[in-house]
Structures are given as structure tokens and as C-alpha cells.
Chain A
Amino acid sequence: MISEFCDWLSTTGISIAFQSSTWFVPLVQTMHILNVAILLTTVFVVSLRLIGFTTGRQPVAELIGKSLTPIWISLGVLLLTGILLTVTEPARELLNWAFRAKMILVFVLAALLGVLQNRNRRSTTFGSESSGADATARIMGVALLLIGTAIVTAGRWIAYVV
């Protein structure tokens, strides 16, 4: 069924128009990577603070609060550019196991970020060094770090597996 959907999508006018351009895919992929840069760096900075690996003058709660805006905006742009790339080459993405794994991981990342946002709103000392060993914050930090790395890895391997 997915295969038939891919066949149909790849013959639509918009998909053919994107496919016939030599610059469209590299341009959209460049925008995609630039937003991955914003997302991954922000997630990594927050993760390492939550784990307690790094310290900073900015309180953790304030860092999380300020980081969530660029995180959600970049995720939105990634979704949009990702849709454009999928419309251009549906079979390359939707039938690829690395792409499917990436999508599941993106969903888990977004859910974790939602939990983090919620926790941060409810407790101003979440993840704070002064609150001692906050096990939940540490686990969340490790999970965000691993999932972020896995998303980029899966994304790169789409080009090499089927």
C-alpha cells in the first residue's frame, strides 16, 4: 500500500516539478541540515547541563526555557523541508528502514521535549545543580543526547540503505 502511494505521489505534478530541478533537492537538504545544526546544538547544550557534565552561569530552568523556542521553530522547519524532500522522492524515503527509524526517533524526541517543557514549567528547580542529584533530569539528558545522535545517524544512512 505504501509502495502504491509512493508511485502515485511521484507522478503528481508537484513531485515531477521538484524532481526535474537540479538545484531543488540540494537546496532543501541544505536548509534541512542548517536547522539540524540549530536543533542538535541546542538539545546537546541542554542535555549536558541536565546530566551535570557542564556548568554555566545561566540557571538550568532559564536555559531550558530559552532553548525551547529555537528547538520548536527548527523542528517545524525540519518537518516542512522533510515533507518537501519526501514529496520529491517518496520511495527513497517512505520505503527506507533508516527513514522509518528516524521518524520514530523524531517522534520520541518531540515527546521527550514536551515532557521537559512541562516539567520545567511546573518546577523552577528542575535539573538544577542546587537540587542535588536529580535522577529524572539526568536520565532525560542522556536520552535526549542519544536520540539526537541516532536521528542524525539514521538520516545520513537513508542514502546508503533501502
Chain B
Amino acid sequence: MLSEGIREACRWLQDLPLSVVVRESEWLFPTIETLHVLALVLVVGSIWTIDFRLLGFGNRQRPFSHVAREMLPWTWSAFVLAAAAGSLMFASKAVKYVDNIPFRLKMLCLALAAINMLTFHWLGSRRLAEWDTGTTPSSAKFAGAASLTLWIAIVAAGRWIGFTT
């Protein structure tokens, strides 16, 4: 299904000196994986805090904008670390990962989570001032539920990679 060009790019990536070092070192891959897991759990935990508020769980008196402002720096800084560590892990065994179904599902869910977040940001939060406190509109609830579900799928697919490679 994948074009030969993508496979060739994966082979090139995997043969880079850095990728070889990560692959052949006994401690480097587990260390990078530990950083990936630490960052990923912070991404999921901070995004879920926002999703739960969108769904109306927890303290509804706390304005949504306050929750988002406090959690988003956690999300973005942890995401940068998770993506950097994940890229190194991918580069070390790119040829194997690119054909792995759970890996592909994880990337698909990540893309869907990004689309969901951007759509909510551009469309859903325009009338933020009207619902910042109290009950959230159904569009915001939908975005929260979609994000919650997609991040469960991302973690599950990520875990399944370890059992299928």
C-alpha cells in the first residue's frame, strides 16, 4: 500500500548515525521511551482536564478560560517533548514501524485529535464569553467527548505497538 518512495525515506532515516546509535544502544531506547511516556501522560492528563470541563464534570463555577489557560502550557510543552522522543524512537526502527497497523492508527488518531482541537478553537470557542462559566453548549461537549475518546485510542494504539513489533 505504501509507495516505494516512503519506504526508501524510512530506510534513509533508519540508517542515519543518530538512528543507529539509538537502535544499538542498550540504554538509549528505554531512556527515550521513558521520556516519551512521561511527556505523553502529561499531555493526556492536561488535555483531559480541559475535556472534563467541556463535558461539564468537576467544578462548573471555574471559568473554562481559566482551566484552559492553566493547562495548555502543560499540554504544549509536554507535547513537544513527547513528539521529539517519539520521532527518535520512530527513526531508530522506521522500516518496521511504518508497516505496523497500531502505529498507523496512532498517527491517524493524532491527526484527528489535532483537527478536532483546531475546529473547536476556530469555531467552537468564538462564543466563549457566553458559556465561559456554567453549562457548555453541545458543540463544546462534542469536542470534549471526541478529544477524550481519541486520546484513549492514541494511548491504546501506542501500547499495542509494543505487542506487535
> Given the complex of chains A and B, what is the CA–CA distance between A27 and B102 in angstroms?
13
Q: Count B-side interface residues using an 8 Å CB cutoff.
A: 26
A41 x B46 contact (CB < 8 A): yes
Q: Which residue of A41, A54, A56, A159 has the most chain B CB atoms within 10 A of its CB atom?
A: A41
> Given the complex of chains A and B, what is the CA–CA distance between A137 and B121 in angstroms?
37
B74 x A45 contact (CB < 8 A): yes
Nearest-CB distance from A116 to chain B (Å)? 18
A58 x B62 contact (CB < 8 A): yes
B48 x A152 contact (CB < 8 A): no
B105 within 8 A of A: no
Q: Which residues of B contact A159 (CB under 8 A)?
A: 30, 162
A29 within 8 A of B: yes
B48 x A37 contact (CB < 8 A): yes
Interface contact tally, CB-CB below 8 A: 72
Chain A residue with the shortest CB-CB distance to B43: A37
A50 within 8 A of B: no
Q: Which residues of B contact A25 (CB under 8 A)?
A: 163
Q: Which residues of A contact B33 (CB under 8 A)?
A: 156
B72 within 8 A of A: no
Q: Which residues of A contact B152 (CB under 8 A)?
A: 30, 34
A136 within 8 A of B: no
Interchain CB contact (< 8 A) of A44 among B40, B42, B58: B42
B34 within 8 A of A: yes
Asked whether A157 and B74 contact (CB < 8 A) given A25-B163, A37-B44, A41-B46, the answer is no
Nearest-CB distance from A65 to chain B (Å)? 11
Q: Which residues of B contact A107 (CB under 8 A)?
A: none
Nearest-CB distance from B28 to chain A (Å)? 11
A42 within 8 A of B: yes
B41 within 8 A of A: yes
> Given the complex of chains A and B, what is the CA–CA distance between A48 and B3 in angstroms?
47
B interface residues (Cβ-Cβ under 8 A, vs A): 30, 33-34, 37-38, 40-42, 44-46, 48-49, 58-59, 62, 66, 70, 74, 152, 155-156, 159-160, 162-163
A interface residues (Cβ-Cβ under 8 A, vs B): 22, 25-27, 29-30, 33-34, 36-42, 44-45, 54, 56-58, 66, 149, 152-153, 156-157, 159-160
